[in-house]
Structure 1
Amino acid sequence: MTATAVLDLHGVTTKNAFMDRSAEQLRLPHWFGRNWDALYDCLTDLPDPAQGGLRLVVRGWQEYAAAEPGEWETARRVLAAAAAFHDTAALRFDIVLEETTSDPS
């Protein structure tokens, strides 16, 4: 069974805020160093594959991407690298960047 985790970045406009939000919402371990390497390490050290996969839904990322385009590109590379790491492992890990729509229907 695949579990779903949500990383809601609404209101996040700095790398420090991104790292704090990631630590809080993804319940990263106490040793998380709040840098890109540490985020990758946490995302590639997921629970036992027998527990199923993980889908990470990233919401509200557009504001961060606009405020910190270089850092957002790094974040995307880290997320993609973590997903690619798990492609070769027994544990499935999917990243979904949720798009916002202006259509209320």
Structure 2
Amino acid sequence: MTTGTTGELPAPGVPGLLDGTIPPGTYRLPATESPSHAAKLAAEAGWHAAHLGLRDIDGKAAFLDRCAADLGFPGWFGHNWDALADCLTDLSWWRKDGDPRGYLLLAEDWDAFRAAAPDTAATAAEILDDAVAFWRDRDTPMAVLRT
């Protein structure tokens, strides 16, 4: 079940996403908000935040390698699309310090990634959207913010 990108994060922005005023989804982070500030707000709200740096990513292998490195994937990650989906719908490996109130993935430089590898970005977006949909009705929702 793909949710699709829902556009720019509406007001009240990151605080609204974290308190449930804005439903979990995939949004563009407004230019007035920085990824580091969003991550700080998420941590303060009890959410697990992770940065995924996509600058200079030009294909599937590089994207999957970056996900493994930046997101701290477990050793069983198989470096393929199915394994990415599995990691994003399991997330037990992100619960080392207890159960977070939610998961926030900050996908930085998304537009550059999409320009360099449009097919890979389209598949990645679908998997991220599916992960958001998976977590939507659970106690720990997931949201993706693209910059």
The TM-score normalised by the length of structure 1 is 0.86
Q: Secondary structure at the match of 1:83?
A: helix
- In 2, distance between residues paired with 1:20 and 1:80? 19
What residue number does 1:70 align with?
119
- In 1, distance between residues paired with 2:119 and 2:83? 18
Among 128, 134, 137, the residue aligned to 1:88: 137
Structure 2 counterparts to residues 5-44 of structure 1, below 5 A: 5-44=50-89
**Structure 1 portions without partners, runs of 5+:** 99-105
**Partner letter of residue 22 of structure 1?**
C
- In 2, distance between residues paired with 1:4 and 1:80? 17
- In 2, distance between residues paired with 1:34 and 1:63? 22
Aligned-residue offset at 1:88: 2.0
Deviations 1:26-85 (A, max 9, x none): 000111111111111101111358332110000012222112211111100000000000
- In 2, distance between residues paired with 1:35 and 1:64? 18
- 1:51 paired with 2:96, answer no
Among 24, 29, 49, the residue aligned to 1:4: 49
% same residue: 38
The TM-score normalised by the length of structure 2 is 0.63
**Structure 2 portions without partners, runs of 5+:** 1-45
What residue number does 1:79 align with?
128
